[in-house]
Amino acid sequence: MGANERNSVLEACVGKAADLAGLVEYAKDAVVSKTILDKAAGTLTLFAFDAGQRLSEHSAPYDAVVQVVDGKGLIRIAGNETEVAAGELIIMPGNVPHSVTAGERFKMLLTMIRA
């Protein structure tokens, strides 16, 4: 995503309410991400997963909060799977392997906390 597109997503949220699900669009056979905010303390990134798409198992050094804004997804943390749906959140602890799988289309907001 270019700087202009990133700035327009941020501007859509500063000082006013924004429809999170409307800030990122689905793409066929893809995972789309849009960074809303990127600061030293952390990031806010929106993701849209087409059905069948996934983020393979990995770990990050920081805690991360996933808030589902549309559809349902499957989050695997340290081998334990949890289905999450719109309106729900789950915390992925730092340094613990996790993955994300879309059995159906879904959108999520990832809040990474770097402290």
Report the alpha-carbon distance of residue 109 to residue 37 in Å, rounded: 11
Tell me how many degrees the CA angle 42-11-13 measures, rounded to the nearest 5: 65
DSSP, res 22: G
Could you list the residue range(s) of the whole structural domain that residue 43 is in?
A: 3-113
Domain count, the chain: 1
Q: Is the pTM of this model over 0.85?
A: yes
The pLDDT of 3-31, averaged and rounded, is: 83
The pLDDT of 30-56, averaged and rounded, is: 95
Report the alpha-carbon distance of residue 62 to residue 80 in Å, rounded: 19
Q: What is the mean pLDDT of the chain?
A: 92
Q: What is the pLDDT of residue 2?
A: 56
Could you tell me the CATH number of the domain that includes residue 40?
A: 2.60.120.10
Q: Would you tell me how many other CB atoms lie within 10 Å of the CB of residue 100?
A: 23
Choice among 8-17, 48-57, 87-96 with the minimum mean pLDDT: 8-17
Q: Across-strand partners of 71? A: 106
Name 5's Cβ contacts closer than 8 Å, sequence gap at least 6: 34
